[in-house]
Chains A and B, each alone.
Chain A
Amino acid sequence: MRKVLAIVRRELIAYFSSPLAYMVMTAFLLMQGYIFYLIVSFLNQPGTQAMTPLRLFFGGTIFFWLFLLFVVPVITMRLIAEELRSGTLEPLLTAPVTEGQVIAGKFLAALGFYVILWLPTIVYVLILKSHSAIDLGPVAAGYLGILLLGFLFLGVGTFASTLTNNQLIAAILAFAATVALFSVGLLEQLVVSSSFFKSALSYMNLWTQMDDFARGIVDTRHIVYQLSVGLLFLYLATKSLEWKKGR
């Protein structure tokens, strides 16, 4: 555990010593602020159906997904690819550290950075709270949904980063894989008949899962799906790392 934490700390030092982290954070906050403004002003127009603004904020708009799909590869691309490129994997894996501990440390650091990225959005909740009574239950569920999505996508990104020593390729692979995971659930709409196929796709529909969380519905099936797929990719990342260094 101490070794995993040491890797997490090192990774966070690496994030915050590169300008990329600050660019991502700035862009992220600008984007989220703008979305928040759009949502609030849209809902302020008379005649719009009653809907809580935070429900739109948590995955209710395509902006949320677009940005998430862009940001995750940027967070994960460096993790292993850079170690492979610079050769630092060698001193790392000749220390008494297992591949699993390396992946765990790297992934938790990415998740930590992702959480830090979202933390300032709590201000929006506070702003809304000061103007109207809002139910904090769905808000908490929304944040849980965001954390789970992060777990899933960052797991995929970590795996992508073990496949190449080129950060750009790692980012593109992560982007392609997360987009595929996101889109596969959306195909649900195209299947007309209520077959097994449709329900399988619906089980994988991340958009509706996120919407459930934003409405305050914490469904164990969603949690199991996102955690298990995330863990599967982390396992693959460990295997890929073992294989990679053996060549």
Chain B
Amino acid sequence: MIEVEHLSKTFVDTPVVDDLSFFVPEGQVLGFLGPNGAGKTTTMRMITAFLRPTRGRVVVAGIDLDSDPVGLRRQVGYLPENVPLYPEMRVDEYLRFRADIEDVPRPQVRENMEYVIERCMLADVRRQVIGTLSKGYRQRVGLAGALVHRPPVLILDEPTVGLDPNQIIKVRELIAELGRDHTVVLSTHILPEVEQVCERVLIIDHGAIVADGTPADLQTRLVGNPALRVELSGTNGQAQEALAALPGVLQVTPAGADLYRIEHQADTDPRESVFHLAVERGWVLTELVAERASLEDVFVRLTTRDAAAPADRPTAPEPVAEEV
């Protein structure tokens, strides 16, 4: 659906995007990750035909950016960072305006407006002035505006920035739902978001791809298998063998008296079966913790620059322990 070949963009003398190539098949939800200044927004602006590439080719839904930039824009719905909207307009006035400039056929304008109002849950604010809405609503108005011409491709630049946790959950649910019938490219630096919403992750830094794969894939490839820490008492030395036999478990290593570290496959979660095993054998389970070496580590590992790097980069966090 989206083909990007050898894409480069140079501002004055600084290359911001450097020979980027990737392909997004129809229906995929792609997470586009990278530290600030990695070139995410610039890449998105080229895919949406806002910026002209210095070199390279972009094809969206079969339309080449070079030969038909205006036609390409029809295929893409774009929600820029910080959701720029016209604060003085009412929600329905804004959507109508977007439908008009997006070339929605006249007889279909009403229908499309109703569709996005329903889809983005805006029915109760449709006559409100945008400037008076909360940030969560504004985000949804922005999304509705990007969707009003029913594009096959959606490009979302940091769609959950600045929202409160409840609003973040709602917007993420909406994106996941839209992912079912759209090809979505979503940029973010919130990693749990990618793990929840995206089927595939593309990490870029200095304008070039540094990793590409499913979230679980990247995790195993770059951090190793996920692991559990289990403390079991009264096992009479049978625990290691029994734990190793559980489905999805790759390796069990003792980590102290009654303490075991269980490496397992990324797509399985043996915590439940550990619990059932303990119940079945009459062992006492005193601790069961998932050692989450998450995408966060992958991200930090891949994008940490040398000592000269600016200080605004997050420092490597400890593996997050998730209590059961």
- Is B23 located at the chain interface by the 8 A CB criterion? no
In whole Å, how far is B112's beta carbon from the nearest beta carbon of chain A?
14
> Which residues of chain A (185-200) have a CB below 8 Å from chain B?
none
> Which residues of chain B (60-105) have a CB below 8 Å from chain A?
70-71, 73-74, 76, 78-82, 84-86, 88-89, 93, 97-98, 100-103
A246 to B16, CA, bound (A): 13
The CB with the most chain B CB atoms within 10 A, among A5, A93, A98, is that of A93
In whole Å, how far is A47's beta carbon from the nearest beta carbon of chain B?
53
- Tell me whether A6 and B74 are in contact (CB under 8 A): no
In whole Å, how far is B9's beta carbon from the nearest beta carbon of chain A?
10
- Tell me whether B85 and A6 are in contact (CB under 8 A): no
- Tell me whether A90 and B51 are in contact (CB under 8 A): no
- Tell me whether B103 and A91 are in contact (CB under 8 A): no
Option from A2, A86, A88, A90 in Cβ contact (under 8 Å) with B100: A2
- Tell me whether B70 and A87 are in contact (CB under 8 A): no
Contact A96 to B89, CB < 8 A, known contacts A87-B80, A91-B78, A91-B145: no
- Is B160 located at the chain interface by the 8 A CB criterion? no
- Is B50 located at the chain interface by the 8 A CB criterion? yes
Q: In the complex, which range does the number of interface residues on chain B fall in?
A: 20 to 34
- Is B278 located at the chain interface by the 8 A CB criterion? no
- Tell me whether A14 and B85 are in contact (CB under 8 A): no
- Is A221 located at the chain interface by the 8 A CB criterion? no
Q: In the complex, which range does the number of interface residues on chain A fall in?
A: 20 to 34
**Which B residues are CB-close (under 8 A) to A245?**
50-51
A129 to B240, CA, bound (A): 107
A152 to B102, CA, bound (A): 30
A3 to B99, CA, bound (A): 9
In whole Å, how far is A90's beta carbon from the nearest beta carbon of chain B?
4
Option from A17, A95, A98 in Cβ contact (under 8 Å) with B98: A95
A10 to B45, CA, bound (A): 24
Option from B71, B73, B84, B101 in Cβ contact (under 8 Å) with A87: B84
- Tell me whether B50 and A90 are in contact (CB under 8 A): yes
The CB with the most chain B CB atoms within 10 A, among A2, A93, A95, A245, is that of A95
A62 to B185, CA, bound (A): 59
The 9 closest A-B pairs by CB, nearest first: A6-B100, A87-B84, A17-B88, A88-B84, A94-B48, A90-B80, A95-B101, A94-B78, A96-B70
B68's nearest neighbour on chain A, judged by CB, is A96
A14 to B97, CA, bound (A): 12
In whole Å, how far is A241's beta carbon from the nearest beta carbon of chain B?
12
> Which residues of chain A (83-108) have a CB below 8 Å from chain B?
86-98
In whole Å, how far is A99's beta carbon from the nearest beta carbon of chain B?
11
- Tell me whether A18 and B88 are in contact (CB under 8 A): yes
In whole Å, how far is A180's beta carbon from the nearest beta carbon of chain B?
31
A9's nearest neighbour on chain B, judged by CB, is B97
A28 to B267, CA, bound (A): 71
A245 to B69, CA, bound (A): 15
A91 to B48, CA, bound (A): 10
Option from B74, B85, B86 in Cβ contact (under 8 Å) with A96: B74
Contact A14 to B86, CB < 8 A, known contacts A92-B101, A95-B102, A98-B70: yes
Chain A 47-70 near chain B by CB (<8 Å), digits 1 or 0: 000000000000000000000000
Contact A10 to B70, CB < 8 A, known contacts A91-B80, A94-B48, A94-B78: no
**Which B residues are CB-close (under 8 A) to A5?**
100
Write 10 A-B pairs (CB below 8 A) sorted by A numbering. Answer: A9-B97, A10-B89, A13-B89, A86-B86, A87-B84, A90-B80, A94-B50, A96-B71, A97-B70, A97-B73
- Tell me whether B89 and A93 are in contact (CB under 8 A): no
A171 to B95, CA, bound (A): 30
A91 to B81, CA, bound (A): 10
- Is A131 located at the chain interface by the 8 A CB criterion? no
- Is B49 located at the chain interface by the 8 A CB criterion? yes
- Tell me whether A7 and B51 are in contact (CB under 8 A): no
In whole Å, how far is A218's beta carbon from the nearest beta carbon of chain B?
36
A96 to B148, CA, bound (A): 13
**Which A residues are CB-close (under 8 A) to B189?**
none
- Tell me whether B97 and A93 are in contact (CB under 8 A): no
A247 to B50, CA, bound (A): 11
